[in-house]
Chain A
Amino acid sequence: MSELTFTLLRLGYLVLLWVFVLSAVAVLRRDLALRSPRSRKRADDGGAPVAAPAPAASSPAPARSSGPHKLVVTAGPLTGTTLPLSTSSILIGRAPSCTLVLDDDYSSSRHARIFPQGDQWYVEDLGSTNGTFIGDQQVTSPIPLAPGVGVQIGRSVVELQG
């Protein structure tokens, strides 16, 4: 084996080691990117971790064709988070068992509930400390919620969208 071949092999081997290290670092970087909030939002839009809307025939369900399809957080720490609507109610608060878990110090652990009935969605306050508001008005009892109307929960605002 000639001197030149050997030198090339020797340096090539070191290059190989560093290609390994740098590729591994690239894998780690991709890992970090997957966990950033921006891509988390994308993952939620893709709907992979959430149940797709599946109205059962027997239960009263909002009309899929006209009614809202998703709940969107439009203000607060979780701005941009969306959640597809199904026939079941959505519990909003800080408790881990809520459907939408807010990372918001001004919301109660079980703050409010948004639920379907007939063709309408309703919002109900669950005895929260800081209250649930639609515009300036506090929600004291279940009231219908139309798409595009913001509901203030702590520092967050959620609304239904079509």
Chain B
Amino acid sequence: MKEAENNPIVSLIASIVSPFIMLFGLYVIFHGHYSPGGGFQGGTLMAASIILIRLAHSGQTGQLQFPATLNTPLGSLGVLIYYGTGLAALWWGGQFLNYAYLPLAQAISWRRSWGILMVEIGVGLAVMAILVSIFDDLLEDNSYD
């Protein structure tokens, strides 16, 4: 890929808009119980905000916000949060992924609510990191010809 010079207008607008998209993605994840939303949608929005910065700033500048070396560890961490929630329920005496056994609250329905929130955080993290990872890999080294 040719090293295009940065357009100042595009990079400024991307820098202004990107944090708000990230914030909206976090809102969609954490408000997923009460409004349409959840881990998949919020993770996609956060990935969109990071990819916007990558598109506007070419080269190493785009990596400053979210370096490419973080992609695979964060994705694996998200999947591990999901598995860990299931295994924690197993540890405290229930079945795998049965949130009613997590010692987070008194009432069983609130325990399941907190379990859903933990799982959604894991899903959002994994989806965000892996979509950015696929984007980085596809643009990795197109300097043939």
Q: Are A and B physically bound partners?
A: no
